[in-house]
Amino acid sequence: MASSHPPAQLPLPLLVDPADTVRHEGFDLPAHASSVARARAVVGGQLRRWGFPEDLGHTAQLVISEFVTNAVLHTDSGRIGCSLQLRGHQLRIEVTDEGTDNCAPLPRSATPDEVNGRGLQLVGALAERWGVSAGDTRCGRVVWAELGTH
């Protein structure tokens, strides 16, 4: 005898658009020169775990290195916050400092014989976008860059 009830419907599988996928990794470091190398290592390791190619890892390491170096050298921070956020095909790198001044880092034109002063120009050449935002209510700023992952 046939049942009068309709067959049970199975749920459809969820289709996840990679553009909707968000991954996040954050870490804090003391504002010391030795933290620059640590930030590079953490970023490189995380991008390898997420399965990204080595060239993206090198670019991200250069960006985090520049941002952490600037926070160490040019602010009175005790700690530096670092964050990686992957959303779809875009990697956002953020470094938060505790500086008490209100001036944002700006690229400058270094003379050919100067050793320093080219880092933010490099970031500008490598990133799709970069900028500076106000920090939280304590003080400081967030310097960020967005890199394409494809």
Q: For the purposes of burial, counting CB atoms within 10 Å of the CB of 69, is it exposed (0-12), middle (13-18) or buried (19 or more)? A: middle
Q: How far apart are CA 119 and CA 141, in angstroms?
A: 18
pLDDT above 60 for 113: no
In the numeric block, which tokens belong to residue 71? 């926070």
pLDDT tens digit string along 13-37?
A: 444 455 567 899 999 999 999 999 9
Q: Which among 30-39, 111-120, 122-131 has the top mean pLDDT?
A: 30-39
Report domain extents, the chain: 22-108+116-148
pLDDT tens digit string along 55-79?
A: 999 999 999 999 999 999 888 899 9
Q: Would you give the end-to-end CA distance of the chain in angstroms?
A: 58
Q: How far apart are CA 84 and CA 43, in angstroms?
A: 8
* pLDDT for residue 111: 53
Could you confirm whether domain 22-108+116-148 is CATH 3.30.565.10?
yes
